[in-house]
Copies of this chain bind each other. A is one copy, B any other.
Amino acid sequence: MGKIVAGIDIGGTNTVIGLVTSQGECLVERTIRTKGEGGFINYILRIVDSVNALSEELGSEYRLEAVGIGAPNGSYNLGAIVDAPNLAWKGILPICSEMESRLNVPVILTNDANAAAVGEMLFGAAKGMKNFIIITLGTGLGSGIVTDGKLVLGHDGFAGELGHTTVDPNGRKCGCGKLGCLETYVSAPGIRRTIFELLASSIEPSSLRSFTYNDLSAKIISQKALEGDSIAREAFERTGEILGLKLADAVATLSPEAIFLFGGLSKAGDLIFEPTRRSMESNLFPIYRNKVKILPSGLQDKNVAVLGAAALGWQHLNL
């Protein structure tokens, strides 16, 4: 009988559940609504039902051995989701114990970016690496850190929030309440803010002058940059400069072998990688220079959230 692990990606709107082999192949998958009738326990029951239904679908050839969950504000140490801003249920949600008692397998939880890091290590481009960082560039900037082959969780299980390191203590207002956090510059909304700053400060013609703030996406900015729009190119340049500066800080702290960029903005390829590499190198303490690779994730086109969550479960089984 083959072993299988469930990977569960909890988002504010949907929850995706997949059954994943030790080779990182997702054999079956389904999506349920995160919000729904009833309270948190009802949500747990709907997940459990889905895991059981997917297991039946696979047949008796496979046996479920563990569950891994990636969730916003998921605490590995507590096995609970703590005050997630985008979920309907507040406070501390003990999701691991509630699922363990119903599925009778170990259930491991962490946040999305940490799960992505474990996914990259087990199934992606970080295979065989023991010291690396993954940066997820989406509506925010998330990060997962691996040192000596293990996820850095820290004292409270919440390590790895590089998106909230400070670029400028008098800088842009961040959703977290602080000023000048990295993710206010380097993320999909961050580059949009940079575009609007550039449109305001320069008088250069740009096709971006015909977009509203609400309509302007990172994808459009990438397209315009590729078409040669100088404002869009300058925005990528500045975004990479700031990312590289803060990655140099991360290197001085952790000395990783590689840093992986994942998600939305990273799909812009050289537009973002090139200025990031250049800026990081020029801000590195000399002993680190020309040693640290900045690479695209190896799971770019896959469901990294489900694979990462499943990788957590697989890592737990193999420890």
Contact = CB atoms under 8 A, between A and B. Distances in A.
A222 to B, nearest CB: 26
A164 B254 CA distance: 12
A286 B82 CA distance: 13
Contacts of A164: 252, 285
B178 A252 contact: no
A199 interface: no
Contacts of A245: 166, 169
Contact of A152 (B73, B166, B249, B254): B254
Nearest to A159: B255
Contact of A154 (B160, B165, B249, B254): B254
Given A150-B148, A153-B255, A255-B158, A169 B283 contact: yes
* A-side interface mostly: loop
A313 interface: no
A256 B166 contact: no
A156 B253 contact: no
Contacts of A181: 285
A131, A156, A253, most chain B CB atoms within 10 A: A253
A176 interface: yes
Interface string A245-274: 100111011111100000000000000000
A255 B255 CA distance: 17
A286 B145 CA distance: 20
Contacts of A229: none
A130 B155 contact: yes
B253 A165 contact: yes
Contact of A153 (B148, B248, B286): B148
A147 B58 CA distance: 40
A130, A287, A291, most chain B CB atoms within 10 A: A287
Contacts of A145: 253
A35 to B, nearest CB: 24
B255 A166 contact: no
A211 B195 CA distance: 49
Interface of A: 73, 82, 130-131, 145, 147-148, 150, 152-162, 164-166, 169, 176-178, 181, 245, 248-250, 252-257, 283, 285-288, 291-292
22 contacts: A73-B287, A131-B154, A147-B147, A147-B152, A148-B150, A148-B152, A152-B253, A154-B256, A155-B256, A155-B257, A156-B287, A156-B288, A159-B253, A159-B254, A159-B255, A161-B252, A162-B253, A165-B248, A165-B249, A176-B286, A181-B285, A253-B253
**The 10 nearest A-B residue pairs measured at CB:** A154-B255, A164-B285, A159-B255, A155-B257, A165-B249, A131-B155, A161-B252, A165-B252, A164-B252, A147-B152
